[in-house]
Amino acid sequence: MSVARGKVHLFDKKETEIARLAGVLSHPARVAILRILSKRDECVCGEIVQDIPLAQATVSQHLKELKSAGIITGTIEGPKSCYCVDWERLEQFRKIIDGFLTDIKENHKECC
């Protein structure tokens, strides 16, 4: 896998962004975290761990991945972290994926 990462520069910016965002959502824990955060109209702190069947450290790592992609925002105040969905970024992601799927559908050729 390290070889593929080293060749990311060979792909265009759009392809790289789609792959990066899709990769962030490629783990069911991250999907579950997003679903949990989407149901709240306030920042969610430590209680995320109560809803996910994983250790605190593992949940924190998944939150870090979501935050690094900009899909969630978060603040750390002392021992407490608080997270919420960045709806604007999520909408950008949706548009990127919709555009990609539209492009490949329009350009498809019949095959077996």
* Domain enclosing residue 46, as ranges: 14-103
State the pLDDT confidence band at 99, using cuts at 50, 70 and 90.
very high
The CATH number given to whatever domain includes residue 42 is 1.10.10.10
In total, how many domains does the chain have?
1
pLDDT in tens, 28-42: 999 999 999 999 877
Q: Is residue 50 part of a domain?
A: yes
DSSP 8-state symbol, 95: H
Q: Is residue 23 part of a domain?
A: yes
DSSP string, 3-47: HHHHTGGGS-HHHHHHHHHHHHT-SHHHHHHHHHHHT-SS-B-TT
Q: Is residue 18 part of a domain?
A: yes
Strand partners, 111: none
State the pLDDT confidence band at 79, using cuts at 50, 70 and 90.
low
- HSE at residue 73, side-chain half, CA atoms within 13 A, is 8
3-state secondary structure of 92: helix
Which residues have CB under 8 Å from 38's CB, separation 6+?
A: 85
